[in-house]
């Protein structure tokens, strides 16, 4: 492929905010306000907002997450901690949580947790510096600040051996439930700040809940 053809292919594939704006005949700032569901965007007539979202979908527009983070002060990032990621039940929970969060526009970071006196300084602080907005923990309860969005999952050591397909499905559902709970805890805080959450990434905002400590018995049913 020649240099010219490579450049042309890249130009065709790259869809920016300006591309969407040109398609609908609006200023880029108006399109940005609509797609980010800001106060200014919500004041624009509904039929215009629908037209912009439809054009963004047709063009397969994807937001620049780095630019969006600078603007909204949010990263849409959640971390999942477990002592052993290779533990089969934990892996299925990770799969369910990741699937749910991806659909909601979030990114999931996965890390192991080892109990140590300097965990907050050497592990939690770097996670926060990377913009982690909430943490799901499996089979561990690290010392997290009060009020920080958190879901704890306590699993028996030998939950199922061997693990059948039905067991995997229950664990993946548990992972999705954990992700749903963490998003419900994060979103109200973000909504209060009115930072302009993209409308196509908004999750339903409901009363935050925690996963029951009776997880093991619930899974066995």
pLDDT band at 179 (very low <50, low <70, confident <90, very high): very high
Angle of the 46-58 helix axis to the 28-35 helix axis, nearest 10:
90
pLDDT band at 182 (very low <50, low <70, confident <90, very high): very high
Answer whether 0.85 is exceeded by the pTM: no
Fold of domain 74-194: Rossmann fold (3.40.50)
Domain with CATH 1.10.260 in the chain: 3-62
Domain with CATH 3.40.50.2300 in the chain: 74-194
Fold of domain 3-62: 434 Repressor (Amino-terminal Domain) (1.10.260)
- Asked if pLDDT for residue 67 goes beyond 80, the answer is no
181 against 120, higher pLDDT: 181
Residues 6+ apart with CB under 8 A from 95: 172, 175
Rounded CA separation 205/147 (Å): 17
- Asked if pLDDT for residue 206 goes beyond 80, the answer is no
Rounded CA separation 134/62 (Å): 24
Q: Which among 95, 71, 88 is positioned nearest to 163, based on CA atoms? A: 88
């Amino acid at each position: 492929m020649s240099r010219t053809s490579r450049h042309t292919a890249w130009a065709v594939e790259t869809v920016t905010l300006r591309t969407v704006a040109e398609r609908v005949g609006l200023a880029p700032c108006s399109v940005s306000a609509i797609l980010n569901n800001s106060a200014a965007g919500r004041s624009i007539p509904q039929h215009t907002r629908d037209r912009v979202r439809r054009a963004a979908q047709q063009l397969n527009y994807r937001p620049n997450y780095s630019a969006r983070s600078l603007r909204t002060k949010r990263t849409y990032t959640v971390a999942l901690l477990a002592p052993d990621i290779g533990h089969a039940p934990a892996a299925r929970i990770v799969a369910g949580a990741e699937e749910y969060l991806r659909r909601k526009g979030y990114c999931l970071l996965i890390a192991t947790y080892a109990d140590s006196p300097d965990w907050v300084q050497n592990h939690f602080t770097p996670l926060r510096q990377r913009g982690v907005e909430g943490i799901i923990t499996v089979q561990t309860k690290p010392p997290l600040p009060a009020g920080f969005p958190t879901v704890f999952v306590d699993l028996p050591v030998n939950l199922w051996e061997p693990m059948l397909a039905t067991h995997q499905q229950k664990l993946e559902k548990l992972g999705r439930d954990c992700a749903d709970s963490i998003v419900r805890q994060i979103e109200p805080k973000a909504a209060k700040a009115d930072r302009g959450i993209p409308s196509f990434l908004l999750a339903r905002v409901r009363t935050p809940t925690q996963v029951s400590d009776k997880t093991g018995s619930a899974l066995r049913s």
